[in-house]
Chain A
Amino acid sequence: MSLLHFAIIAPLLFACFIPFLFKRLNLIHTGWFVLGLSIILFIYFLRFLPDIQHGGIQETVNWIPSLGINFTAYVDGLGLLFALLITGIGSLVSLYSIYYLSKEKEDLGSFYVYLLMFMGAMLGVVLSDNLIVLYTFWELTSFSSFLLIGYWYHKKRSRYGAQKSMLITVFGGLAMLGGFLLLYLMTGSFSIREIISIADGIYGDPLFIPALILVLFGAFTKSAQFPFHIWLPDAMEAPTPVSAYLHSATMVKAGIYLVARLSPVFAEHGLWLWLVAGFGIFTLAWGSFNAVKQTDLKAILAFSTVSQLGLIMSLLGIGAAALHYDYLDDNLYMAATFAAVFHLINHATFKGSLFMVAGIVDHETGTRDIRRLGGLMQIMPVTFTIALIGTFSMAGLPPFNGFLSKEMFLAAMVNVLSLDIFNMETWSALFPVLAWVGSVFTFVYSMMLLFKTFTGTYQPEKLEKNPHEAPVGMLVSPIILGALVIVFGLFPNILSTSIIEPAANAISPALIDAGQSFSTHISFWHGLTPELYMTIGIVIVGAFLYVTLPKWERIYGLFPKKLALNHLYDQSLIRAESGSLSVTNSYMNGSIRTYMIYIFVSMVGILSFSIIQKNAFAFTTDGLAPMGLYEVVLGVIIAGASITILVAKSRLTSIIALGAIGYTVALFFVLFRAPDLVLTQLVIETISVALFLLAFYHLPKINRKEERMGFKLTNALVAAGVGVIVTVIAFSALSNRKFESIAQYYIENTAEKAGGLNMVNVILVDFRGFDTMFEIAVLGIAALGIYGMIKLRLSRREDT
């Protein structure tokens, strides 16, 4: 086990100690320990930066070698980028949570256990090379996210949000597992790197398309792509540090990671490009359009996250087109991949800081509703500054880093117009249009977020607390993130060579293998390009829309509530519940008669089906013994007694008719020369008739009406069916005898080997004595059971 493995599972191991630290060292806020661990891990992963310029580092620990499932940790540009995000933002969030969560009021032990579980799981997802290990960690992120969303479990909305996110992400996770298994079937390996190396061979496989779609289900549910984005706004019931960490910077990017990681496997196919880019761009427009109508700060941020994730997703989709052009110089689509990675980092910085700002506002004023907030600029100047940096970066304004990646995004979308593969020409115009519309709305909600909260009239009477600037500790993390926004904005090239290029190369290794390398230079001023005009248009139209917002806000009311995705989700849950309830109630009615009908009907159905299917019916009269007078007479008696049982008015008559059948059967045994059976049958029949009479005598006096059994057509049909099918089978079996009976052996050996002349008894006690042993055990159990039932009357004792 290498240090790398230890680093990955270190948060999980450390989580075991959290409860002790929380209970024993309760003078120190538990978050400080978590902060220490995250910083150590961050520094540890930073040290990998020089190594990954020329490829990855791989370490393996055997887990289940016989199944090809091993914990292989693989660090390359992409994995390292995510690992740095996870540990870096993790440190800042831990620091923020120390001031956000009160030591006295909150159950910090659970909080940090869940948080560390999540951090370890997330590191495992991004650094695993084995698909099954990746899936294991993937589900662990779902579970820890479920626990964190439901952290305030006494709130109904928290439980609702936790359940919703669980259902949706686990649904996607299971679909993804299916995709992984299909990949294994095609390639015979669980290792991502091996699969990539033989990806060309599986391109035409019939399982390829199903695998692609299933894997995308996993990625889209986790990364909140349309229409699976509905869990993310409800996950905002989690504590704000959790929202900042999981639902903006890390977990929701796991789907992005998956798409980027498996791009070399699937990107060759046009469907991948269409689905990833198409859903991404639509999610961008849909998310930003819906963000404008929200009134809760965190809800705006949630929809904003959805939209930004769509942006990154669409860039990754367009980046897949790079594989179809075998030159790297001037490869426009490789730039899309580059932009995706760049925006991923930028989004983590500004969205993290904005969530923290929302948390501070909530913490200091007691509300997150923008209709009640306003005029906080003078009261919280530092928070305002951070919010300004974050929102302007989100809107894509210079000189912040969002501007750069948004420009690259728009450039990529414009380049789609020149794409000439997979019938892209027909619909390619949609991409720049949707991108532009989405960006306009992004601008509108960014401005809303900033100005409705911090400018305007100050309404202290609507606030629950007397607001003032947040404590320094709470401000440190957002200040660091805000500073990064500016630093990355002004000096983007410190990122480009160190981390973005290795990550982009990891996403498109096929091009790198061809001996080419990709490098780019991010510059603010890149000439008068179409994207610059688009940005100017965005600012102008966005500003106009923001100012006239009250005038056109009503269009959101026009959208039918019935068609809203949340409504559909809720309705489908309710329908599924009531549907399964009514289905269960319809067939589990508690009546034995019904269940017997099910059993007999399925028996008749299965048997007759297989007889017809196998053409098994046969009827021969060969080898039948001649029928004598006695057999006919006894048969008539049995038939008469059976009919008597059915039509008798009195139960007593039925019991006696049953006894008559039993004695006639004994006579049949006489005829068929079975003396042992005759003896036993006579005695047993006597005893059972006596027991029937006993039961008859003890029938309750009320409701004891002497009446004939009612006639029910279904019963008659089912009974007739069973009788006919059993008779048919008996005839067929008799006519289909394939082998001689083994009875000859017993006849020859009874006296010689077993020392007895009564063959029946010798078989019972000697040849097959084992059966007899358990039959007498059954008899003993029956006796003890009757004894127990009669003597032990707990319920009656309670009554008296």
Chain B
Amino acid sequence: MRTNDIILQTVTKIVSFIILMFALHIFFAGHNNPGGGFVGGLLTSGAIVLLLLAYDIKSVANSLPIDFKIMVAVGLLFAVGTGVGSFLFDVPFLTHAFGEFTLPLLGKTHLHTAVLFDIGVYLVVVGSTLTIIQTIGEGE
């Protein structure tokens, strides 16, 4: 039995982007305000779960052609790579560096290698959550 869930789908189209934006905000604000890679990642997967609820697994897989298991691996690579990268500068594993840089377009910007590490956390969290939810959803 197919129910007509046009309202749900339309609302989802709008709300999921708001959630995504909020997730990105939480992620980038993490270093100075509450938030960070973990919560950002969970919220992002919340947005995708909403898509899964409103549509079905296949159409979400078509519009988001991502293998979330690979995402986990990429995230781990980011985290480990940030750590290994500090060897290049002859400092201990996982030593972070930061500073103010003047970039083209953005002007004076505060950059921090911890963000690379946080991206790793973010990707692993999104990848793991969605792998779990997808496999259980397809499990039947």
Chain A interface residues (CB < 8 Å from chain B): 675-676, 678-680, 683-684, 687, 691, 694, 754-758, 760-762, 764-766, 769-770, 772-773, 776-777, 779-780, 782-784, 786-787, 790-791
Contacts of B68 in A (CB 8 A): 783
Pick the residue among A680, A756, A782 that contacts B31 (CB under 8 A): A756
A676 (CB) vs chain B CBs: closest residue: B34
On chain A, the residues within 8 Å of B26 by CB distance are 679
Shortest distance between the CB of A769 and any CB in chain B (Å): 5
Question: Quick check: A679 and B34 within 8 Å, CB to CB?
Answer: yes
Q: How close is B5's CB to chain A, nearest CB, in angstroms? A: 20
Inter-chain contact B79/A776, CB cutoff 8 Å:
yes
Q: Name the A residues within 8 Å of B37 (CB-CB).
A: 765
Having A676-B34, A687-B42, A779-B72, one finds 13 other A-B pairs with CB under 8 Å, namely A675-B34, A680-B42, A687-B129, A755-B96, A757-B32, A757-B33, A758-B30, A758-B31, A758-B36, A762-B31, A764-B38, A765-B117, A783-B129
A788 to chain B, nearest CB (A): 9
Q: Number of A-B pairs whose CB atoms are under 8 Å?
A: 127
Interface SS of chain B: helix
B17 within 8 A of A: no
What is the CB-to-nearest-CB distance from B117 to chain A, in angstroms, rounded to a whole number?
5
Assembly CA distance A776 to B119 (angstroms): 11
* Bound CA span A790–B134, Å: 11
**Bound-state Cα–Cα, A676 to B33, Å:** 9
Residue of B nearest to A674 (CB): B34
Evaluate contact between B136 and A755: CB separation under 8 angstroms: no
A-B contact pairs, 14 of them (CB 8 A): A679-B39, A680-B38, A755-B98, A758-B31, A758-B35, A762-B31, A764-B36, A765-B117, A766-B96, A770-B93, A772-B117, A773-B80, A780-B73, A786-B132
Q: When A780-B124, A790-B136 are in contact, do A758 and B94 touch as well, CB less than 8 Å?
A: no
Cβ A780 vs Cβ B112 within 8 A: no
Enumerate chain B residues within 8 angstroms of A680, measured Cβ to Cβ. Answer: 38-39, 42
Interface string of B110-140 (1 = CB under 8 A from A): 1010100110110011011101100110010
What CA separation (Å) do A762 and B96 show in the bound complex? Answer: 11
The residue in chain B whose Cβ has the minimal distance to the Cβ of A787 is B135
B36 & A676 in contact (Cβ 8 Å cutoff): yes
CA A762 to CA B115, docked complex, whole Å: 10
Q: Which residue of A lies closest to B111 (CB)?
A: A755
Q: Is B46 an interface residue (CB 8 A)?
A: yes
> What is the distance, in angstroms, from B115's C-beta to the closest C-beta of chain A?
9
Docked CA distance A760–B120 (Å) = 17
Once bound together, how far apart are the Cα atoms of A70 and B127, in whole Å? 62
Is the beta-carbon distance between B76 and A777 smaller than 8 angstroms? yes
* Chain B positions 50-84 with a Cβ under 8 Å from a chain A Cβ: 68-69, 72-73, 75-76, 79-80, 83
Residues of A within 8 A of B48 (CB): none
In the assembled complex, the Cα of A720 lies from the Cα of B80 at a distance in Å of 44
Shortest beta-carbon contacts, A-B, top 5: A675-B34, A783-B128, A755-B98, A757-B32, A756-B31
Task: Return chain B residues, CB-CB under 8 Å to A678.
Answer: 34
Is A786 touching B131 in the complex (CB atoms < 8 A)? yes
B43 is an interface residue with CB less than 8 A from chain A: yes
* Chain B contacts for A766, CB-based, 8 A: 96, 114
Cα distance, A765 to B94, chains bound together (Å) = 9
Contact of A754 among B69, B96, B127 (CB under 8 A): B96
Distance in angstroms from B130 CB to nearest chain A CB is: 9
Residues of B at the A interface (CB closer than 8 Å) are: 26, 30-39, 42-43, 46, 68-69, 72-73, 75-76, 79-80, 83, 93-94, 96, 98, 110, 112, 114, 117-118, 120-121, 124-125, 127-129, 131-132, 135-136, 139
B92 to chain A, nearest CB (A): 10
> Do A765 and B39 touch (CB < 8 A)?
no
What distance in Å separates the Cβ of A481 from its nearest Cβ neighbour in chain B? 77
Question: CB distance A790 to B31 under 8 Å?
Answer: no
A2 CB to closest chain B CB (Å) equals 56
In angstroms, Cα B41 to Cα A619, docked, is: 43
Residues on the A chain within 8 Å of B132, using CB: 782-783, 786-787
Taken together as a complex, chains A and B put the C-alpha atoms of A679 and B35 apart, in Å, by 8
A569 and B71 alpha carbons, distance in the complex (Å): 67
Residues of B within 8 A of A770 (CB): 83, 93-94
**Are B135 and A769 touching (Cβ within 8 A)?**
no
Q: Which residues of B contact A761 (CB under 8 A)?
A: 30-31, 35-36, 118
- In angstroms, Cα B131 to Cα A784, docked, is 8
B135 CB contacts on chain A under 8 angstroms: 786-787, 790-791
Q: How far is the CB of B61 from chain A (nearest CB, A)?
A: 15
A676-B35, A787-B69 are contacts. A776–B125 as well, Cβ < 8 Å? Answer: yes
User: Considering the chains assembled together, what is the distance between the CA atoms of A7 and B116 in angstroms?
Assistant: 71
Interface pair B128/A790, CB less than 8 Å apart: no
The answer to whether A683 and B136 touch across the interface, beta carbons within 8 angstroms, is: no
Q: Which of A687, A772, A779, A783 has the most CB of B within 10 A?
A: A783
Collect the chain B residues with CB atoms within 8 Å of residue A756's CB: 31-32, 112, 114
Contacts of A772 in B (CB 8 A): 79, 117, 121
In the complex the two chains form, is B136's CB within 8 Å of A786's CB? yes
Complex Cα distance, B68 from A481, in Å, reads 86
A765 & B43 in contact (Cβ 8 Å cutoff): no
Nearest B-chain residue to A768, judged by Cβ? B94
> Quick check: A758 and B121 within 8 Å, CB to CB?
no
Q: How far is the CA of A772 from the CA of B128 in the complex (A)?
A: 15
Give complex CA distance A780, B70 in Å.
10
Q: Which residues of A contact B80 (CB under 8 A)?
A: 773
Q: A680-B42, A683-B39, A758-B36 are in contact. Are A769 and B94 (CB under 8 A)?
A: yes
With a cutoff of 8 Å between Cβ atoms, the chain A residues found around residue B33 in the complex are 757-758
Taking A676-B39, A776-B125 as contacts, is the C-beta distance between A694 and B114 under 8 angstroms?
A: no
Contact A784 B72 (CB under 8 A): yes
Q: For the complex, give the distance between the alpha carbons of A277 and B18 in Å.
A: 99
B136 to chain A, nearest CB (A): 6
Compute how far the CA of A616 lies from the CA of B110 in the bound complex, rounded to whole angstroms.
51
Given contacts A683-B46, A756-B112, A772-B121, contact A780 B35 (CB under 8 A): no
- Residues in B whose Cβ lies below 8 Å from that of A684: 42
Selected from A675, A687, A790, the residue in CB contact (under 8 A) with B139 is A790
Contact A782 B128 (CB under 8 A): yes
Smallest CB gap from B130: residue in A: A783
Tell whether, in the assembled complex, residue B136 and residue A765 are in contact, meaning their CB atoms are under 8 Å apart.
Answer: no
Which chain B residues border A777 with CB–CB below 8 Å? 76
Question: CA A779 – CA B42 in complex, angstroms?
Answer: 12
Chain B residue nearest to A779 in the complex (CB)? B128
Interchain CA distance A772-B124 in the complex, whole Å? 11
Instruction: Check if A779 sits within 8 Å of B124, measured CB to CB.
Output: yes
Q: Is the CB of B32 within 8 A of A780?
A: no
A773-B131 in contact (CB<8A): no
Contact between A784 and B35 (Cβ–Cβ < 8 Å)? no
Cβ-defined contact, A776 with B36, below 8 A? no
- Complex: A783 Cα to B73 Cα, angstroms: 11
Other-chain residue from B35, B75, B117 in contact with A769 (beta carbon distance below 8 A): B117
Query: What residues of chain A lie closer than 8 Å to B114, measured between beta carbons?
Result: 754-756, 762, 765-766, 769
Query: Please, how many angstroms separate the alpha-carbon atoms of A764 and B118 in the complex?
Result: 9
Residues in B whose Cβ lies below 8 Å from that of A762: 31, 114
| Residues of chain A lying within 8 A (CB to CB) of residue B32 | 756-758
Smallest CB-CB separation from A785: which chain B residue?
B132
CA distance A251 to B36 in the complex (A): 77
Q: Which residues of B contact A758 (CB under 8 A)?
A: 30-36
Chain A neighbourhood of B38, CB < 8 A:
680, 764
CA distance A422 to B83 in the complex (A): 78
Q: A761-B35, A780-B72 are in contact. Are A773 and B94 (CB under 8 A)?
A: yes
* A765-B36 in contact (CB<8A): yes
Tell whether, in the assembled complex, residue B124 and residue A776 are in contact, meaning their CB atoms are under 8 Å apart.
yes
* A687–B73 CA distance with the chains assembled, in angstroms: 22
Q: Which residue of B lies closest to A762 (CB)?
A: B31
Whether the pair A694, B128 counts as a contact (CB closer than 8 A) is: no
Alpha-carbon gap, A762 to B129, bound state (A): 24
Q: What CA separation (Å) do A688 and B98 show in the bound complex?
A: 37
Given contacts A758-B34, A769-B94, A776-B79, whether A783 and B121 have CB atoms under 8 Å apart is no
Chain B residues with Cβ under 8 A from A769's Cβ? Answer: 83, 94, 96, 114, 117
